[in-house]
Structure 1
Amino acid sequence: MSIDIIQRLRQSGTDKIKFAVADIDGVLRGKVISMNKFLKAVQNGIGFCNVVFGWDMDDACYTNGDVSGWHTGYPDAFASIDLHTYRTIPWQNNIPFFLADFSHAPEVQAACARTLLKKVKQACEDAGFKAVFSKEYEWFNFTETPQTLSDKHYTNPQPLTPGMFGYSLLRTSQNDAFYYDLFNLLKAFNVPLEGLHTETGNGVYEAAIEYADILEAADRALLFKTAVKEIAYRHGYMASFMAKWNHALPGCSGHIHQHLEDASGHNIFREESDVDGISETMRHYIAGQLYCLPFIMPMYAPTVNSYKRFVEGAWAATTVSWGIENRTTALRVINQVPAATRLETRVPGADTNAYLSMAASLASGLYGIKHKLALELAPVKGSAYDIKALQRLPAGLQQATLIMKNSHIAADLFGEAFTDHFIRTREWECQQFEKAVTNWELKRYFEII
């Protein structure tokens, strides 16, 4: 396949390609390089300043890092271009595009989210399973550009459409060129959607990406977010995957759908003889996710803003809980179609790094299978918001990071090197927020206090 792709590129006459790597926050960092440079990179790797693992999403360099930092002198780390990720970008004259990672760069691989997912995937396959995953995203669209929003100091962005109008045919018809560009261009970009519709909230859309092998599913999820933003730019809009941009509106989720298959492709989460149609393996998998959830929350909710989404009655889970076809719980078992029996992990927001949230879901599920954890927690019937006895999810990033740091669970699931790096980055994120003076503080204290 690799030889075929290179031959196709040579025959196409293209003189350049685009490639990208994902940083710890799931932000794509990339370059356009010449065809000659690309061919050399396929053989030898390509240098990328290790600062991509030494700064935050605002390009501020960590002062608490170990993998990367001023103490390293910021040398190049060599990324490996994955030829299996080949696609073309239809809204950019079909320029060839590839993803890369640092799985062959020992000095930084502990900080590479895609490398972590590849390791968890391998552990799954070593256990005799194939992980099949997909992401669904909610996001808000605005009639803004980066410049207009900057000029307004990021206040009062104008939503694309008004009103709470989920599953609306009318609202999408107002901006049908953008709406159908999303569906059609994403398919041409090899990020095919199962569905696309409006959700509850001003200018909010939801998309479900087609199922795939877990690594391909995560690649698609990362590319989906950047692609949606770029397509929105072409129409003069902005797309935001912020978890909670307005306290009066629902947040944006990034739910994960998943099941495991055996070597013959059989869905091993299904068991017809069970009263709920779910297998013992699935029960262990659910138990593993529930057990690990409080200790790995920053993998699902990585920003200060993430925790503003966890509000009772706002379609986001607030407890360690599960249920059959229950959208108020952290884990929702979907069992109505036997072949499609699966688990939906509803905790992650749209702001997550898909490599990390999927790695967390699979690794914690496998933990339950490996240790044969019993699913002792009863499924929630009715609203989980009304059951006060359920364990609450951490209330903020600082608390969640401290719980993660003080537990062995994350290191058991992801290794000590990755866990140490990731915790440092979340501590940094908390520190940046602590220094900020917010509009809320100005409004509350400027005159009155």
Structure 2
Amino acid sequence: MTDDHATPDGGLTAKEQAVLDTIEEEDIDFLRLQFTDILGVVKNVSVPAHQAEKAFTEGIYFDGSSIEGFVRIQESDMRLIPDPDTFAILPWRSEGEGGTARLICDIVDTDGEPFVGGPRQVLKSVLDRADEMGYSVSIGPEPEFFLFEKDENGDATTIPHDNGGYFDLAPKDLASDVRKEIIFTLEDMGFEIEASHHEVAEGQHEINFKYADALETADNIATFRAVVRAVAEQHDLHATFMPKPIGEINGSGMHTHISLFDEDGNNAFANEDDEFNLSETAYEFMGGILDHAPAFTAVTNPTVNSYKRLVPGYEAPVYIAWSDVNRSALIRVPDAAGVSARFEVRSPDPSSNPYLALAALIASGLDGMETGADPGDPVREDIYEFDEEKRAEYGITTLPSNLGEAVDALEADDAVTEALGPHVSEKFAEAKNQEFAEYLTSVSTWEEERYLEKF
């Protein structure tokens, strides 16, 4: 992958100079230097815009020991190096005031080397591996979210903003204006929006943006979540990407469409002579996804709550299989050919760290290509209707049923842990094991209502 950061002599690249010119032309006063911790929480350091050249040439120092999963106190000095390709002016500006812009940053250590614990660097390393194999990776995500009312104190509730359903229009879909404003804001920041609609559950929505290379997509997901929350706040609503905020209704997923392109720009997944328009490369990549699904689930579905979504009956995939006609399988192959040939991994959810989630998915697929993984035959029946015996007959296994099982699978999978690197694998598993342990010792309202007076 190309590096558009400062030149070795300390000068600026053309892209960096273009950013400085835009800062001056657009009267930008402040820059938000953004990065993501291991758990996927977006962080930022705000600096005066006149610090932009220093940020590009030297970086901006920060205390890495204060960030979840980064470094110990004795090795805390780290630097943020902005990526000029991620420059975007934030649309919120008060009249008469200068503007604010955002730059997503890479992290380097005190020696100037890329920090191996930075999620963006993890994804870059996996994409470098794909590049060495002669491929680039394109990703099209479909993140879902809920809009909830707030109470009289301004705190979030789980009262849906509307009672609309799948593809409903106003008056049932009360949030169409909110979605429009989100879309306009995203377009102002350079997004190309393809579609938006009300989802199945009350208060649930989906906005799809155009596929892009994997790194840009991960950046876009992080930006998307921030914009959705900010616009919702302006409407006195709370937006959440929590996978399952309400029991007994559909949860929020982030279906992820994947395709590879070769060095000539051809879709390496395409084969019009195949029944499903897929090449042998696509099948091997798919086989790797299926083989490593238990392990990457800890990363693509990283919260205790994620596993409240991954249950039969609510359109979320539970079974490790692929299909072209039903959505009960982990992987669905859309009716698309040529440049659009791809498949959709349906298990990820929007609480995941987008950099680590995409890194784990891509690494699994690349491993499948290297090992010649076989995805088996498609399952065209509704797997939700299978009993245990029939699933065994078809060789269909299930995703982990909870976060603890998923972390165990991650730690036992060399291909995924090597892709994440020892630092991230260790810190991530440590944090998630602690989260699961805390969950196991907590007492829920459901338990109180069911058992407190009964026993």
2:307 matched residue in structure 1: 307
2:249 matched residue in structure 1: 249
Contact 1:78 1:102 in 2 (8 A): yes
Percent of residue pairs identical: 27
1:448 equivalent in alignment to 2:454:
yes
1:125 equivalent in alignment to 2:128:
no
Q: 1:158-191: CA deviations, max 9, x gaps?
A: 211025x110122576344312101111111123
Q: 1:340-385: CA deviations, max 9, x gaps?
A: 111111110121111111111111111111122233x221102122
1:62 matched residue in structure 2: none
Counterparts in 2 of 1:350 and 1:14: CA distance versus 1, 3 Å: closer
Give the superposition deviation at 1:108: 8.5
Contact 1:23 1:52 in 2 (8 A): no
1:29 matched residue in structure 2: 43
Paired with 1:148 and 1:435, the residues of 2 have a C-alpha distance of 30
Q: Which moved more, 1:33-42 or 1:289-298?
A: 33-42
Contact 2:34 2:43 in 1 (8 A): yes
Q: 1:189-216: CA deviations, max 9, x gaps?
A: 1233211100111111011121111100
Q: Which moved more, 1:364-373 or 1:417-426?
A: 417-426
1:39 matched residue in structure 2: 53
Q: 1:297-318: CA deviations, max 9, x gaps?
A: 2111100000110121211111
How well do the aligned residues superpose, as a CA RMSD in angstroms? 2.1
Q: 1:22-51: CA deviations, max 9, x gaps?
A: 112221111321123332222111122214
1:423 to 420, 425, 429: 429
1:202 equivalent in alignment to 2:207:
no
Matches within 5 A, 1:255-404: 255-375=255-375, 377-387=376-386, 388-389=391-392, 390-404=396-410
2:78 matched residue in structure 1: 77
Superposition TM-score, scaled by structure 1 size:
0.90
Counterparts in 2 of 1:263 and 1:74: CA distance versus 1, 3 Å: closer
Quick one: which amino acid aligns to residue 84 of structure 1? Answer: D
Matches within 5 A, 1:80-119: 80-92=81-93, 94-103=99-108, 109-119=115-125
Local SS of the residue matching 2:170: helix
Counterparts in 2 of 1:77 and 1:146: CA distance versus 1, 3 Å: farther
2:147 to 135, 141, 156: 141
Superposition TM-score, scaled by structure 2 size:
0.89
Paired with 1:313 and 1:220, the residues of 2 have a C-alpha distance of 30
Q: 1:106-141: CA deviations, max 9, x gaps?
A: 799232111101111111111101111121111110
Contact 1:117 1:215 in 2 (8 A): yes
Quick one: which amino acid aligns to residue 409 of structure 2? Answer: I
Quick one: which amino acid aligns to residue 83 of structure 1? Answer: P
Give the superposition deviation at 1:425: 1.8
Q: Which moved more, 1:28-37 or 1:298-307?
A: 28-37
Paired with 1:201 and 1:99, the residues of 2 have a C-alpha distance of 33
Structure 1: runs of 5+ lacking an equivalent: 55-64, 151-155
Give the superposition deviation at 1:12: 3.4
Local SS of the residue matching 1:260: strand
Contact 1:253 1:349 in 2 (8 A): yes
Local SS of the residue matching 2:53: helix
2:442 to 430, 436, 441: 436
Paired with 2:271 and 2:353, the residues of 1 have a C-alpha distance of 32
Local SS of the residue matching 2:137: strand
Q: Which moved more, 1:211-220 or 1:176-185?
A: 176-185
Q: Which moved more, 1:172-181 or 1:133-142?
A: 172-181
Contact 1:145 1:236 in 2 (8 A): no
Quick one: which amino acid aligns to residue 371 of structure 2? Answer: H
Q: Which moved more, 1:222-231 or 1:171-180?
A: 171-180
Counterparts in 2 of 1:105 and 1:406: CA distance versus 1, 3 Å: farther
Counterparts in 2 of 1:173 and 1:276: CA distance versus 1, 3 Å: closer
Give the superposition deviation at 1:145: 6.6
Q: 1:89-109: CA deviations, max 9, x gaps?
A: 113455211111215567992
Quick one: which amino acid aligns to residue 96 of structure 1? Answer: A
Matched length: 429
